[in-house]
Structure 1
């Protein structure tokens, strides 16, 4: 599913569960040696996805141990991002000759827990979400905002090596005009895809790439099969 949000230069892979056996490199295994089994399985499956994406780029498999902040350390010449949530794991990678940085995120398509939205949003964003919800209540807009900001951070961090707080970017969504309907007339389950784009305006000085300071990121989003997916790709 994540491939639907990505350009051709980006290779991706995803899995719905952790049933596929994965042998970790020693450096990877050491990173989760003390983690609970659930975390170990997620960690292994998302690295399986990353290896498949590396293969699609024509690159060899390599250890993908986490860095100081938990971010994956990609091979030289590769930009990438990973995500995992209940029922979904994915990785997306590209050569840095094509892509400067990218960020993907997946979340369950359910409202955020009570009280979380105030901590991850700005007042203007909350008004924006209210207006969107009045038009399209089937989309969990608060969860979509959270996911978009996760993708913003994952794109930002490799370029700056600095933290970015939730209140340091303001996100606005633009839904696509006609959602694609997958509903079977014999099935009363809503199978409509909701999709669109978003813009994240950085409220702090953005990264400088190619001699140009970037003050905003643009991305794409999708709600499908019980999931919220977001992606940002900064191409050259």
Structure 2
């Protein structure tokens, strides 16, 4: 069965989150028609998970259509990441009430990462699991509520960066192996990776990322160019 779009379209991603070569689509979690093999991925899941998965896949199909890419079902790799058409890089994310996808032609970008989180402070008790020692030291200079909000942003941008680098490195990175430099005025970030191979560290150093707060969500985007100094 071909996918059909029935959700409520959200328009939270601004034109500055990703470069112009990236196509995006957004919606609410909802149940709609998907390809049979796409449905099989979440056949045993609860309804909430099915709705989020469905919303994400519908966004992916819509974004690919905007990109002018003809494709069928979007299945998943063994690591559960989306199995994109051969000439495409992309990312899907969803959280409570919101799903989105971002795609680009592989000739334009080496990787894309997208992450969506509820814009609420991170419990400071969890910050040590998300932030490096240096990040924690910098955050402690802020008032408690502000430092918890920044910790949640760090969590989100790390998720986007991890998704962005994985197709190139095939390496999973722990939160404490990545250190984020946030520019809160510009809404941008850079990432440095420690404790991994030199090639992975070099690739991650070339990631360019942005984040924005909109509609009660943190929306983080990361891209990896083919030739980035």
Which category of TM-score, normalised to the shorter sequence, fits these structures? 0.7 to 0.9
Give the counterpart of 1:54 among 64, 71, 75: 64
**Aligned mates of 1:26, 1:83 — CA distance in 2:** 21
Q: So what's the TM-score if we normalise by structure 1?
A: 0.83
1:25 aligns with 2:35: yes
Cα displacement (A) at 1:115: 2.2
**Aligned mates of 2:153, 2:198 — CA distance in 1:** 22
**Aligned mates of 1:139, 1:221 — CA distance in 2:** 16
Cα displacement (A) at 1:151: 0.7
**Aligned mates of 2:123, 2:147 — CA distance in 1:** 17
Is residue 29–residue 55 contact of structure 2 (8 Å, CA) maintained in 1? yes
**Aligned mates of 1:130, 1:55 — CA distance in 2:** 45
Q: Give the equivalent residue in structure 2 for 1:214.
A: 203
Is residue 28–residue 63 contact of structure 1 (8 Å, CA) maintained in 2? yes
Is residue 140–residue 147 contact of structure 2 (8 Å, CA) maintained in 1? no
Q: Deviations over 1:76-120 (max 9, x none)?
A: 110000110112110000000001001010100111235221111
Q: Give the equivalent residue in structure 1 for 2:22.
A: 10
After superposition, where does 1:1-236 map in structure 2 within 5 Å?
1-4=12-15, 5-15=17-27, 17-19=28-30, 22-131=32-141, 133-134=142-143, 137=146, 140-176=149-185, 196-203=187-194, 204-205=196-197, 207=199, 213-216=202-205, 217-236=207-226
**Structure 2 gap ranges (5+):** 1-11
CA, structure 1 residues 50+39, in 2 after alignment: closer, same or farther (shift >3 Å)?
same
Q: So what's the TM-score if we normalise by structure 2?
A: 0.85
Number of positions where the alignment pairs a residue of Structure 1 with one of Structure 2: 212
Query: Post-superposition, which runs of at least 4 consecutive aligned residues in structure 1 deviate over 3 A?
Result: 136-139
Cα displacement (A) at 1:121: 1.1
RMSD (CA atoms): 2.2
Is residue 3–residue 12 contact of structure 1 (8 Å, CA) maintained in 2? no
For residue 168 of structure 2, give the secondary structure of its aligned residue in structure 1: helix
Cα displacement (A) at 1:218: 2.5
For residue 140 of structure 2, give the secondary structure of its aligned residue in structure 1: helix
Richer in strand (by share): 1
